[in-house]
């Protein structure tokens, strides 16, 4: 029988609802007993008659732990894909359960506290543009001179706190190049049940003040000026790429660059007029848009290609030789994985790929 102290709910989900337990290939198992003695949660028993390890209490297994499989000398132990766990962590109730436990045990688990007041910035909501029921573009300005975010590296992000709440901050990429007045452009996609976006879509209004930390992050343009570039973005992953392009095309208008940008619905696109302007005025800049669903009346801007489907599907079907291009990829983890698989097929070296991946 499962041990209650091991088979307790995982971040609020009953353990029996999570398909995470090992399977032993008995034809490969050599009966060494490493998994049996190495598992402190008593998942295994040893069959001395057959000289084989047996999965005895799978619900005792620690979610996402694969120590037994990693130490099995014959690779006889397998687990479900880690996506089984990732898909659960993407659910707001699970994420909130982890967050609440972290905060409730803060004194025990904390290495350093939140950044002190002197390291925080106070930003005012200057303008809100609703793009679709799921997406909005928000412009923030510094509340005071000391809050100016006038100098940062395009591609970086900010931590934003929900006003009046003790929750952890959420990270949002800056969707604009640095401006002299410190104005920032951010893109929010609504997550059903998400704490920050529920506040943003239901309560946030122009004039509200938001506490922030940053800018920070390593995702940025790292290529020389003469290097051809490939950008691939999914959804709001376009935000950091837009910031990079905005600055680079201004300083290097002859840059050979192509952008693949995919969304779920064509209503989710934003700043298409800016992309059209860049295509018209930057001779070596090209854009391919992709969407799974096409809204009635949607027409891509002049000079911009459109394909129904995904950004990685459009890239895979392209006959463009991208082997000599530096690739910049931004989007949810699942999509990034698919994009990287296409880059593998297309021959883009791993050391020439720069990635900004997030949950969702």
CATH assignment at residue 31: 3.30.70.20
- Measured from the Cβ of residue 290, the count of other Cβ atoms closer than 10 Å reads 21
Pairing between strand 77-78 and 353-358? unpaired
Q: Do 286 and 310 meet the contact criterion of CB atoms below 8 Å apart?
A: no
CB-side exposure of 112: number of CA atoms within 13 Å?
A: 3
| Mean pLDDT to the nearest integer, 204-220 | 94
Question: What pTM was estimated for this model as a whole?
Answer: 0.86
In tens, the pLDDT along 339-350 reads 999 999 999 999
As a whole number, the mean pLDDT across the chain is 92
Q: Is residue 5 part of a domain?
A: no
Write the Ramachandran bin of 155: left for phi over 0, alpha for psi from -120 to 50, otherwise beta: left
In tens, the pLDDT along 143-193 reads 987 777 778 999 999 999 999 998 999 999 999 999 988 999 999 999 999
Token pair belonging to 156? 């970086």
∠ Cα 153 159 163 (to 5°): 140
What's the confidence (pLDDT) of residue 114? 87
Domain closes at, from 193, 216, 239: 216
Q: Is residue 212 domain-shared with residue 236, that is, in the same domain?
A: no
Q: Is residue 96 part of a domain?
A: no
Rounded Cα–Cα distance for residues 121 and 81 (Å): 41
Token pair belonging to 122? 């106070």
The pLDDT > 90 percentage for the chain reads: 76
What's the confidence (pLDDT) of residue 146? 74
Q: Is residue 56 domain-shared with residue 127, that is, in the same domain?
A: no
Q: Is residue 251 domain-shared with residue 206, that is, in the same domain?
A: no
Q: Is residue 275 domain-shared with residue 354, that is, in the same domain?
A: yes
Q: Is residue 103 part of a domain?
A: no
Position 360 pLDDT exceeds 60 = no
**Which candidate, 298, 309, 312, places its Cα nearest to that of 342?**
312
Axis-axis angle for helices 272-281, 238-251 (nearest 10): 30
Q: What range does the domain containing 72 cover?
A: 15-80
Mark out the alpha helices in 207-332 (DSSP H runs). Answer: 238-251, 272-281, 311-317
Q: Is residue 354 domain-shared with residue 240, that is, in the same domain?
A: yes
Pairing between strand 285-293 and 305-308? parallel
Q: Is residue 207 domain-shared with residue 233, that is, in the same domain?
A: no
Q: Is residue 343 domain-shared with residue 316, that is, in the same domain?
A: yes
Rounded Cα–Cα distance for residues 61 and 264 (Å): 36
Q: Is residue 99 part of a domain?
A: no
Domain closes at, from 216, 249, 266: 216
Q: Is residue 303 domain-shared with residue 348, that is, in the same domain?
A: yes
Q: Is residue 73 domain-shared with residue 166, that is, in the same domain?
A: no
Overall number of domains in the chain: 3
Token pair belonging to 243? 């910031």
Q: Is residue 28 domain-shared with residue 127, that is, in the same domain?
A: no
Domain closes at, from 171, 188, 216: 216
CATH number at residue 245: 3.40.50.80
Rounded Cα–Cα distance for residues 57 and 3 (Å): 8
Q: Which helix (H) or strand (E) holds 37?
A: helix 34-38
What's the confidence (pLDDT) of residue 211? 94
Q: Do 221 and 155 meet the contact criterion of CB atoms below 8 Å apart?
A: yes
Q: Is residue 167 part of a domain?
A: yes
Q: Is residue 52 part of a domain?
A: yes
Pairing between strand 353-358 and 326-332? parallel
CATH number at residue 144: 2.40.30.10
Q: Residues near 296 by Cβ (< 8 Å), separated by ≥ 6?
A: none
Pairing between strand 285-293 and 257-265? parallel
CB-side exposure of 332: number of CA atoms within 13 Å?
A: 18
Q: Is residue 87 part of a domain?
A: no
Q: How far apart are the first and last CA of the chain?
A: 35
In tens, the pLDDT along 280-326 reads 999 999 999 999 999 998 999 999 999 999 999 999 999 999 999 99
Dihedrals φ, ψ of 239, to 5°?
-55, -55
Q: Is residue 173 domain-shared with residue 209, that is, in the same domain?
A: yes
Q: Do 256 and 123 meet the contact criterion of CB atoms below 8 Å apart?
A: no
Q: Is residue 280 part of a domain?
A: yes
Place of tokens 């047996």: 54
Q: Is residue 62 domain-shared with residue 159, that is, in the same domain?
A: no
């Amino acid at each position: 029988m499962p041990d209650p102290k091991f088979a307790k709910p995982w971040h609020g989900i009953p353990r029996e609802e999570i398909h995470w337990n090992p399977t032993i290939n008995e034809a490969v198992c050599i009966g060494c007993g490493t998994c049996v003695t190495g598992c402190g949660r008593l998942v295994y028993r040893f069959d001395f008659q057959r000289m084989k390890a047996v999965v005895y209490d799978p619900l005792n297994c620690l979610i996402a732990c694969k120590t037994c499989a990693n130490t099995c000398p014959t690779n006889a132990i397998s687990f479900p894909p880690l996506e089984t766990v990732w898909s659960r962590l993407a659910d707001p109730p699970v994420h909130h359960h982890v967050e609440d436990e972290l905060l409730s045990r803060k004194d025990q688990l904390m290495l350093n506290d939140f950044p002190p007041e002197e390291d925080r910035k106070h930003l005012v909501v200057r303008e809100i543009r609703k793009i679709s029921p799921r997406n909005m573009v928000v412009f923030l300005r510094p509340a005071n001179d000391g809050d100016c975010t006038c100098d940062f590296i395009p591609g970086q992000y900010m931590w934003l706190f929900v006003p009046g709440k003790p929750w952890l901050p959420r990270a949002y990429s800056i969707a604009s190049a640095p401006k002299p007045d410190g104005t920032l452009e951010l893109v929010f996609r609504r997550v059903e049940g998400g704490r920050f976006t529920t506040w943003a879509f239901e309560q946030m209004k122009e004039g509200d003040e938001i506490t922030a930390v940053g800018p920070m992050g390593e995702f940025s343009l790292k290529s020389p000026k003469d290097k051809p570039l490939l950008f691939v973005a999914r959804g709001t992953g376009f935000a950091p790429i837009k910031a990079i392009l905005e600055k680079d095309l201004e300083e290097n208008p002859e840059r050979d660059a192509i952008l693949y940008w995919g969304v779920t619905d064509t209503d989710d696109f934003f700043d298409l007029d800016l992309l059209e302007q860049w295509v018209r005025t930057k001779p070596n800049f090209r854009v391919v848009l992709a969407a799974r669903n096409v809204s009635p009346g949607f027409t891509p801007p002049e000079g911009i290609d459109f394909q129904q489907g995904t950004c990685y599907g459009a890239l895979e079907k392209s006959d463009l030789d991208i082997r000599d291009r530096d690739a910049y990829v931004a989007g949810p983890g699942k999509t990034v994985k698919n994009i990287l698989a296409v880059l593998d097929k297309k021959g883009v070296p791993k050391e020439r790929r720069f990635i900004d991946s997030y949950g969702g």
